[in-house]
Homo-oligomer: A and B are copies of this chain.
Amino acid sequence: MSPPLITLTSDFGMSDGNVATMKGVILSICPDVRLIDISHGIPAQNINHAAFVLGTTYKHLPGSAIHLAVVDPGVGTSRHPILLVTPHGSFIGPDNGLFSYILAANGATMAEAPRPGAHVLDHVQVNVPPDCQAFLLNRAEYWMEPVSDTFHGRDIFAPAAGHLAAGVLAGDLGSVLTTLRSNYFPPNRVSNGRMDGYVIHVDRFGNLVTDLVLKEPVDLAMQVEIRGQRIKGISRTYQGGNGLLAINGSHGFLEIAYRNDDASRLVGAGVGTQVTAWYTDDSR
């Protein structure tokens, strides 16, 4: 039988010892676990970035994996430490939106109305989906005492991941939660064949990932506009077109890239920038 698998995601970087500290805590509880880093290069305190990375990666890892995610600017405040169990992976970290994409993929519905004009960077309370379970990590016997107010990754989250990997039941780690924090995902606004969306992620190459999903992977009749710049047609590869190009990215979303260069810098766009796509034969 394969050993249990824990992945780690954080904004701790690799110039400090925090990541190895969490691994040490896990190994002291579950010595035969396999550890896989997803990313520790999340920009400091950037919950959105981590949520996207985790949300597009977890599905390629085994469904039995435990995903530990610590981007936690609110450590020590009232935000909840949680465990979210889904049909494909268990997730441990602060309840601050880190698991937004996992909740959305499992069909989470809103537990409250979003504020008027809410966009993709806003948060909203959502219901834990029917196939999932969520727990507040409030059982002190599974913490590493004394719990600090500044490093729950070491004192609460890593121990919970270690105990879960070692066979402790999810329900023993804490009490049931029925709602969680999530990013608000505005539906793609489609009217007259025109789609309005947002940049939701900027990757390491400066490619701008949007929340727009295309019906056709390559479409010469589509135009895309971002910050006043127009792109005609959807390219098949990053070598398509000259300069700025639009592509159906590997995550399944429309991406805006720049041939052999950094679209984010050249366009002056980032997370939250508006993007519009439409068919040239549609009225506009």
Chain A residues packing against B (C-beta within 8 Å): 2, 5, 7, 11-17, 19-21, 23-25, 27-28, 31-32, 35-45, 49, 53-54, 56-57, 60-62, 73-77, 148-151, 154, 203-205, 217, 236-239, 247-250, 260
Bound-complex Cα distance A53 to B14 (A): 10
Known: A32-B2, A45-B260, A205-B44. A39 touches B16 (CB 8 A): yes
Asked if B28 and A14 make an inter-chain contact with CB atoms under 8 angstroms apart, the answer reads: no
Asked if A39 and B24 make an inter-chain contact with CB atoms under 8 angstroms apart, the answer reads: no
Known: A14-B41, A28-B62. A74 touches B249 (CB 8 A): no
Asked if B14 and A150 make an inter-chain contact with CB atoms under 8 angstroms apart, the answer reads: no
Known: A2-B32, A239-B76. A204 touches B53 (CB 8 A): no
The residue from B25, B38, B43, B61 contacting A60, defined by CB atoms under 8 A apart: B25
Asked if A36 and B54 make an inter-chain contact with CB atoms under 8 angstroms apart, the answer reads: no
Asked if B20 and A39 make an inter-chain contact with CB atoms under 8 angstroms apart, the answer reads: yes
What are the residues of chain B within 8 A of A36 when measuring CB–CB? 20, 23-24, 27, 35
In this complex, what residue of B is CB-closest to A262? B44
The residue from B7, B17, B238 contacting A20, defined by CB atoms under 8 A apart: B7
Bound-complex Cα distance A277 to B2 (A): 52
Asked if A236 and B76 make an inter-chain contact with CB atoms under 8 angstroms apart, the answer reads: yes
Asked if B57 and A20 make an inter-chain contact with CB atoms under 8 angstroms apart, the answer reads: yes
Q: Main SS of the interface on chain A?
A: loop
What are the residues of chain B within 8 A of A12 when measuring CB–CB? 204
Asked if A150 and B247 make an inter-chain contact with CB atoms under 8 angstroms apart, the answer reads: yes
Known: A27-B62, A76-B236. A17 touches B53 (CB 8 A): yes
What are the residues of chain B within 8 A of A148 when measuring CB–CB? 250
Asked if B150 and A17 make an inter-chain contact with CB atoms under 8 angstroms apart, the answer reads: no
Known: A21-B60, A24-B61, A61-B24. A203 touches B250 (CB 8 A): no
What are the residues of chain B within 8 A of A24 when measuring CB–CB? 36, 57, 60-62
The residue from B11, B32, B237 contacting A75, defined by CB atoms under 8 A apart: B237
Report which residue of A23, A28, A45 has the largest number of chain B beta carbons within 10 angstroms of its beta carbon: A23
Report A130 CB to chain B, min CB distance, Å.
Answer: 26
Asked if B247 and A53 make an inter-chain contact with CB atoms under 8 angstroms apart, the answer reads: no
What are the residues of chain B within 8 A of A150 when measuring CB–CB? 237-238, 247-250
What are the residues of chain B within 8 A of A217 when measuring CB–CB? 149
Asked if A15 and B49 make an inter-chain contact with CB atoms under 8 angstroms apart, the answer reads: yes
